[in-house]
Structure 1
């Protein structure tokens, strides 16, 4: 198949960009190195849009949460990633979590079947000469990373984040652990019991905290002095920040009543369903760089997990991104080589949802340009516009770090408002702005 545009990278951003372009009638060559004999330290399959760190797309609440709001905007624009997430979701309270294998299979099948998409299993080591979107994610190959550095005249930035362990459900002790969502919050498919909770007394927590600090960790000299992303920080790094940091973070006990006492424990370890069958559960917030044997020993001191069997243990992976506020224009084009767009985590957005969202926008911008039209930027009052604005100029270039979508990226609400009402005011304003923008784009070459 001759193609109108090449997309390099078959993760969430590349898959979404390919879908948007193909649906708009353009022929896409989707290059993915997995399946060609190459792989990455974090991936385990050759499937497109493989989820490697968590199975959660986070909150699906579009009324008071920026992540839920971007979900809604993406659904309205025909997102393949959100479509498949909705098809393959598993109970997770008000969050959108998926069976990761079925999700990846669904995305792969949809892209494979599309007549305008050719999936080529190949490693790309140089920037394409024609129209292209680079969506190689945080694990961009060394040769391509070097080519990007040459084209931009600046070094790529790098940080490291960690993968949380997964536990087999039938190895959890339910004489101690119990099912409950925080404050019994019920999602569309849930019953207020979407998480498994393992309680800790003060003494158990103090011993666990000490174990995290003392535990043997994977260390690499060349990785020193590299900042971790706050949203995916290893649990032992959090523990180093203070004795109670974990109790106000991933081990927060508020809103969780231990049925044995009727009271909140001193600390709680939560597990979230990882597959549709409910046989695998990931330990929420327990990204770690502890060595594997140390993980097994320490995590089995958690009440309820004393006999835990692990389907996967935690580990580190490399994460690379460019200085997008300096290097990219408002339509995600490389200023020094405007035939190239960037999308996904390599731009410095963080998270599955955000990566797919930027892939969606890159695909639509490219489709408009290929069709001889211009797609207006989404308003900064929308979740898509706020995230795009942060990446392409809203952040301080010298201190630019990966960022999830959040209301802090939106223009402030004018006038005096009650804190309790502010989030809903953000979402109401965003819905109005998005509706007007979408109406204006009905004549664009992209499906509305």
Structure 2
């Protein structure tokens, strides 16, 4: 059994909440739709907020990525991510093309950078307002964010850089810190949304009343170098925002060993569960997972809050894995295992039915919900890390001390050409 301090004054008692939402492209076509979707997740959390202790709410990975769809409803109905990306690039060509040429980046990164000012402001201000309104410590999930520095009252963007970044906020909407994802999946690299990997040496731990928080975004929580660095700094609560882009009961094979193919839930035992079960300083881990079919992309999983075996002795686990201690809270999958033969294959078939473009009646019928657990830790002992220039810039934006200027479109004559090209391309796609 994990040792716990007996004096209530010498410990931190708090509640951790993991939200498992369902997203769709329609949630991102306007600022109002995005705010409503984000608010719905805090509303799901509201009945579980503890009135007698601080609350930590953890949202999911890349919940800001689809904001590139904002203002272009046609792209949200394009059917595939590839078509949507092309349509968006054409739609925003007057702004994206100068970025592409000047910063020497790919079209998909140029598109995201060209739209980053408005989308960054909307994302951060929405999260700030929700943290304030609900009075919670908020792990905002993660979003593609540029690197900024503060010059006077203006935020200046570093050319070409776009990280998968988590922002941590306090209950007054104040910035606690940011963390960049270090280990990118193939879908986040040049062939996909083309993000910039973070630096392992930049990972830090942030002491708060809701734990000494370290962030391992999705794949980072599987990697020994990330967990080792966070543990070396005294991380007690690991946050793993996640967006698993595959059916939950499909097979997985990722770098560094893509030949190591196994069931997704089996692989997931090597992230939050393992970090909490075998960690030195890490006592708890919170892993929310988004579900839903976004255009032709499938996202599925089982959110969890994990701990050491002595703190969570009841045996349970993900589907396709054997029950074990270490799960304080676990979201059931859409279908629980049964006693019949070939149970694993039946669950894999259900996963295929849920997936995008399956055509099955169960397509896109995922399970959503909220998990919570009351956690206890010793008092603060981790020093607060100094802020980076990027954090200073974001803090100034959130506090209203600085602004993010919206770049004006160059070569406005391209707007008409872009719209014409988009319409011709779409017409051709319909004919074929």
Above 0.5 in TM-score? Answer: no
TM-score, normalised to structure 2, is 0.24
TM-score, normalised to structure 1, is 0.23
